[in-house]
Every structure is written in C-alpha cells, then in structure tokens.
C-alpha cells in the first residue's frame, strides 16, 4: 500500500452503491425539508446525531433508516432527498462515538440496543406512520440485521447491500484464521485515535508482519483496545456473542432483500443468513420473502461491469435505486411494484455472463461431483505434473512442499477488502511458486456449470503441531490465464470444531474439509478446471507461525514441511456443485 494514507485507504473500504437510473428521473411528489444534527436519545442518556429528510407536507409517512459509522453525510444527500421526495422520511444517523454522535466507538458492540432505541424514538414522532424500513451497505447492513430480531411489528422491510451479519465468522475468523488485512486496516481506519492523529503509513506490508499480533497496534503508534480484543478473543465467546444474532434468526419476521457479490468478503454470509431466516422465521410471510441478488462484484456494485481483471459486460450493472424504490414502495406503501413476486434467488452466472432466477440455495438439481487430485509426486507450481479428474486415484506418490511463514503466498484477488487486490485476478504469479500445488483438468470439450457451495477434502500431514491449509478454485482460460473463482482456509487446530480447537500430531495424516464458500461459473469449452493447494494467503489471513502456541502471542515463526496424499484410501479432491 505504497504512498497511501490511512484516510485514503479507508475511503476504499466504504461500499460503493450505484444510486442512478430511471427511478431518479421520476417526478418528485414533495419538496424536501431537512433537519440537521437532530440528537436522538439512547436508553443510557447518550445522544446520537442524525440528519432527517422529510416531505414538506402535513401527515404521517413511512421511515427509511440508515445507521452508519462512515459519516451520515450532508444535507445534500442525494439518496435521502430522492426518497423524501417520494413520500418517505429518510434518517441518516451516525453510530455511537462516530461523527457528531456521543459515546465511545467500539465496533459491533452497541448496534443492537442503539438500533432498537432509534426505532422506538421514530415510532414516537408525529411524522411517523409506524412503519420503518432500513437500507445501506457493508457495516450499515450489519446495523440493520442487529436490530431486526423482535422488530417485525413495525420493521416492514430491509435492504442490506454486501452486509456482514455475524462479526466473528463473517469478519474476524474464517476457518480459524484471522482476517488480518481487513481487521487491522479497517479496524485502524475507523478508530477515532488513528484517524484523529492523521496516521499515515506507506509500509503496510511491514505493518501486517508485526508480531506478536496481540500488540499489533504498536505499528500505528497508538493503543486501540478493540484491535487487541479481536486477537485475544480468538474463539467464539461471550465477547462475540454480544454482537451476534446467530441464535435469534427465528425472531426475524421482516421481508429482506440482500444484494451480494461472488467476490465480496461477505459472499457466503449473504446466502447463508437469508437461508437461515427462510427456514427458521416465525413468520410464514417472512419465510416466503427472503431474497438474495448475487452479482459478479467485490465489496460494491460495479459501475461499468469491470471487476478485477475481467469485464462481465453491461448486464452486470444494476439500477439499485429502482430496485430499492420498488421494494420499499411495496412493503411500506402497499403499491403493486412486482416486488412480492420477485424470486428468492437472482444470480449472475459468470462465464455465460447472464442473470438467472432460482427458487432455492443450493440449487435442488445440483450434482455434487468430486474431482480428484493426481500427480507423479511433483505437483509443485504450474510447471509440475498435477492433474485433476473425476477418476479416483489408485496408488500415487505424495506431494510435498515447505511452508515458510516468512515467505507466505501473497493474496492475489478473491473475497477480500483493502490491503490486497480483490476480485478475479490472474493467478500466474502465485502458481509459479513451489509451495503451491497445482492440479489441472484436461481442456473441456463442452460447458460445465458450477453453481453453489464448494469445498475441498484434503488428506494431509504436517511437521508442525499446528498449520494452515488453503485451497483455491481457478478457471484457466484458453490463453493460459488462470482466474480465481473462490478460495478457503482451515487452521489445523480447528479441523474438528470451531469452538474446541485441538492441535495435531506432527507427521500424522488428518482429513480436512476446506470451505471455499460459493460461486456460479460456467467453464466454457477450451477452458480447464484448476485447484491450488498451499498453506498461506497473506495478508488476507494472518500467517500461521506453525508453533502450536496460543493465538497471537508468537514473536517468532517456524517452517513446516507439508505432505498431501492422493491415493485409493486418501483420495484428496474438490467437490464441485455441478448444475446440469
């Protein structure tokens, strides 16, 4: 991150939502009245600042609420004025400790109660008709989810864009590995201490390598308690439970429309949590009206169809304003906009680059197909002899490589945010490395669609008492470009349980399941399917020091010799959700 200030880096993290299109050209129904910096009291006496945009007219109106840590914006807020002119009260509120709001800023910890207190205040206002909708992206999506349980009597509709839902599993720890670049970059960026100091660092690579992780904040020159808390609480405990609704999904009785992206860091979460509400909600209507739109995007909607190294065409650009207007007009105003008939799932199928409607996730017609790893004992790098196919291996030699935490495999694309490239990227530079095993299929003679959750089953051993295993699904184009689709990681000590980690015995073989999250892609004729196996993806994830010590305390790291098996008894493979 050369020559970039933290403030500039943070600007890249704020979700990009495209508010444009035909809906904006609609004739306004009302002039707009703006009340700036309205102080809304919370139950503990703290007051949160909000800008309120109202139709200039007598009467009561439905309310749209957006609660944000990124600044509530000015009185010229185009989105707010658009909806106010359509007959809504739009409220943009600074989260606790941010902007002009009182209190202390601690990410995730106050959004449930502050959201509900804000709801109660809205319901008491003379201009409120007793109906609330919520909108916004990323962390603003999280503030929506946190206040949703038990609010269905007045919370009539939600529209979270690329949202997180559960901080521990969505943002902090994936497969037991710490999302380093995100938490340390974003965490420092939203810290009042770091931003007030105007901290600037053009040596991000060096900062990410700071050890021990429990004192990472020394790299930015000031102590930020919650940065240390995130490392200290490396297992799901009461600290994280207070910021989660994972056990309250049945209490969500509100129609929800989620916009997600295949290359977004919350791609899996967007589908999983809506699915959970769809199956668990106490409300039959809410179960019927949980919707997800998944596009070929990173953390925000592409303005021109270009994402990473690929262009998905003009059809990959959506008019979010029009979608939002139809969604809220139906649920808060009772208008016939077609929203009630929208499909549960609308997904963009990459490769073909088309939109398709589906009724469930995963797709009922999915044929889960194992593609097995093969080699002559030298699958190291794209120049090795690793192959991939549906035939189960017989007796084959093992593959080995050395994982050196001082020389980790760099993050090159994928579902990440800040600190490293995101989206679909050419993987050639990564695949040149000897500590990356590469298994490639033959050229395809016909289309193969892979849509759904993807996982790798890996039989492997390590010389270390704890280590990481990574896997990546890649689409190899006819010109040789390997473009990543999805990837995953598992920390060995979390192989059996996310709550009860256990170390491994060095040199002993174990079975690992690596969750590669989700994708929808058609491998076209002339393309090849490829899988990469390694032990690091840095700086998206922290480097496993291979010591087996408690998380975050190591100041030194060790190398590990890694062994991957693919034979009759230990048939390592990727399980692809093939769609006929």
Residues facing 560 on adjacent strands: 403
Residues facing 356 on adjacent strands: 347
Which position among 273, 289, 291, 299 bears the catalytic label? 299
Per-residue burial over 85-111, b = 16 or more CB atoms within 10 Å of its CB, e = otherwise: bbbbbbbbbbbbbbbbbbbebebbbbb
The tally of CA atoms less than 13 A away on the side-chain side of residue 147 is 29
Give every CB contact of residue 404 below 8 A, 6+ residues apart in sequence.
Answer: 435, 559
Which position among 66, 92, 101, 138 bears the catalytic label? 138
Q: Is 138 a catalytic residue?
A: yes
Q: End-to-end CA distance of the chain, in Å?
A: 43
Alpha-carbon distance 162 to 148, whole Å?
A: 17
Alpha-carbon distance 470 to 534, whole Å?
A: 5
Three-point CA angle 110, 114, 115, nearest 5°? 115
Alpha-carbon distance 200 to 223, whole Å?
A: 15
Which position among 264, 399, 426, 435 bears the catalytic label? 264
List % helix, strand, coil for the chain (3-state, nearest 5). 25, 30, 45
Pairing relationship of beta strands 399-403 and 560-565 according to DSSP bridges: antiparallel
Q: Could you tell me which of 338, 373, 547 has the C-alpha nearest to residue 473?
A: 373
Q: Is 169 a catalytic residue?
A: no
Q: Which residues are catalytic?
A: 138, 264, 299
């Amino acid at each position: 991150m050369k020559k970039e200030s933290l403030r500039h880096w943070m600007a890249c993290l704020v979700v990009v939502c495209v508010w444009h299109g035909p809906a904006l050209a609609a004739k306004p129904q009302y002039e707009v009245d703006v009340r700036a910096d309205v102080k809304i009291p919370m139950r503990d006496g703290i007051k949160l600042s909000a800008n309120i945009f109202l139709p200039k007219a007598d009467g009561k109106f439905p309310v749209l609420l957006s609660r944000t840590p990124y600044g509530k914006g000015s009185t010229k807020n185009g989105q707010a004025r658009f909806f106010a002119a359509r007959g809504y009260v739009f409220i943009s509120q600074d989260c606790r400790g941010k902007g002009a709001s009182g209190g202390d800023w601690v990410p995730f910890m106050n959004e449930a109660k502050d959201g509900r207190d804000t709801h109660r205040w809205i319901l008491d206002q003379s201009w409120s008709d007793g109906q609330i909708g919520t909108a916004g992206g990323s962390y603003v999506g999280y503030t929506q989810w946190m206040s949703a349980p038990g609010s269905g009597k007045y919370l009539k509709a939600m529209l979270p864009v690329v949202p997180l839902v559960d901080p521990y599993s969505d943002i902090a720890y994936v497969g037991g590995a710490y999302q380093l670049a995100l938490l340390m970059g974003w965490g420092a960026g939203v810290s009042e201490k770091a931003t007030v100091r105007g901290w600037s660092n053009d040596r991000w690579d060096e900062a990410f390598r700071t050890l021990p992780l429990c004192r990472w904040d020394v790299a930015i020159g000031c102590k930020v308690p919650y940065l240390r808390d995130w490392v200290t609480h490396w297992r799901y405990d009461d600290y994280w439970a207070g910021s989660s609704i994972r056990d309250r999904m049945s209490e969500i009785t509100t129609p929800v429309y989620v916009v997600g992206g295949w290359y977004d860091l919350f791609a899996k979460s967007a589908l999983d949590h809506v699915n959970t509400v769809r199956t668990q909600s106490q409300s039959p209507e809410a179960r019927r009206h949980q919707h997800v739109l998944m596009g070929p995007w990173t953390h925000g909607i592409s303005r021109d169809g270009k994402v990473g190294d690929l262009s998905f065409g003009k059809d990959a650009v959506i008019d979010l304003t029009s979608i939002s207007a139809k969604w809220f007009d139906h649920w808060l105003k009772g208008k016939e906009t077609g929203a009630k008939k929208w499909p549960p799932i609308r997904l963009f199928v990459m490769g073909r680059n088309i939109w398709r409607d589906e009724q469930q996730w995963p797709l009922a017609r999915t044929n889960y197909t194992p593609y097995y790893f093969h080699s002559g004992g030298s699958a190291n790098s794209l120049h090795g002899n690793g192959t991939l196919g549906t035939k189960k291996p017989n007796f084959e030699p093992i593959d080995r490589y050395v994982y050196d935490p001082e020389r980790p495999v760099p993050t090159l694309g994928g579902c990440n945010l800040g600190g490293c490239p995101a989206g679909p990227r050419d993987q050639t530079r990564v695949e040149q490395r000897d500590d990356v095993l590469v298994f490639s299929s033959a050229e395809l003679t016909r289309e193969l669609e892979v849509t759904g959750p993807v996982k790798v089953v890996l039989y492997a051993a390590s010389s270390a008492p704890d280590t990481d295993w990574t896997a990546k699904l890649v689409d190899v184009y006819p010109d040789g470009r390997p473009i990543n689709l999805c990837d995953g990681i598992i920390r060995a000590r979390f192989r059996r349980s996310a709550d009860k980690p256990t170390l491994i015995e060095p040199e002993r073989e174990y079975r690992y399941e690596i969750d590669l999250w989700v994708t929808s892609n058609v491998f076209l004729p002339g393309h090849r399917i490829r899988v990469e196996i390694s032990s690091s993806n840095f700086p998206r994830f922290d480097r496993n020091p291979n010591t087996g010590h408690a998380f975050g305390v190591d100041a030194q790291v060790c190398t590990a010799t890694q062994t991957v098996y693919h034979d009759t008894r230990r048939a390592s493979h990727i399980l692809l959700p093939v769609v006929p």
